Amino acid sequence: MACFARDGFHGASMQKICAEAGMSPGALYRHFPSKEAIIAAIVEDERADRLHVFDEVRKAPTILGGLMGCLRQLLEEQTLPTATLGPEIMAEAIRNAPLRAAVEPCEEETRVHLRAALEEAVARGEIDPGLSLDEVMILLQIMGDGIILNHQLHPEWRITARLPDIHRLVVRMLAPAGREG
């Protein structure tokens, strides 16, 4: 993961990975049948991690606040050197069909959790019931991806510090009329 994050998908050679792992190519190939397999394993690993991100949403005072907390947590993970993997994987997945297939279940799971959270938010009166949840979900996922991308591309913007403001804007967008904040 360190190699892929540092050098990108194609810049990370098996030899560099071997050096980083303190292994010979032969040993590495005993664990992974190919370079692609390593990438797939990383995606799978990330997927397992993501499963628990949504755990605490329901316990938060507000669902939308809880989702914001998830985002914050995601961004703080992104401080790690492995963080550039996110955009890297997305860009590669556009062209690389097998990788896309590996990523898709992870995204689908995220959407399922997100949708459940949004339905809960509607039930709690945080979201205007007149809004289409499909559109809201897509927009929130778009914002999530965009925030991660921008956090990598412009770390100097300190997006984490702006999350409260973003939260306020999202509430304005979703709250039932006359119940802003």
Partner DNA sequence: TAGACGAGAGCGAACGTTCATTCGCTGCCG
Partner DNA sequence: CGGCAGCGAATGAACGTTCGCTCTCGTCTA
Which residues of this chain interact with DNA, rule CB under 7 A?
10, 12-16, 22-27, 29-31, 33-36
Strands of 13-74 (E only): list them. none
Helices and strands, number each (H, E), in the chain = 9, 0
Q: Residue from 14, 75, 116, 131 that binds a second copy (CB under 8 A)?
A: 131
Tokens of 98: 């097998």
> What count of other Cβ atoms lies within 10 Å of the Cβ of residue 108?
10
- Rounded-to-10 torsion of CA 6, 160, 66, 178: -140
CB of 114 to DNA, least distance (A): 35
Give the C-alpha separation, 124 to 63, whole Å. 8
CB of 18 to a second copy, least distance (A): 20
Instruction: Please list every residue from 14 through 73 that binds a second copy, using CB under 8 A.
Output: none
Q: Using the rule CB under 8 A, is 173 a contact of a second copy?
A: yes
Q: Which is nearer to a second copy, 21 or 138 (CB)?
A: 138
Q: Which is nearer to DNA, 35 or 115 (CB)?
A: 35
Instruction: Please list every residue from 95 through 124 that binds a second copy, using CB under 8 A.
Output: 95, 100
With CB cut-offs between 5 and 8 Å by kind, which of DNA, a second copy, none does residue 177 bind? a second copy
Give the C-alpha separation, 26 to 10, whole Å. 20
CB 103 within 8 A of CB 111: no
Tokens of 179: 């119940």
Residues of this chain that bind a second copy (CB under 8 A): 6-11, 84, 87-88, 90-95, 100, 131-132, 135-136, 138-139, 141-147, 149-150, 152-153, 157, 159, 162, 165-166, 169-170, 172-174, 177, 180
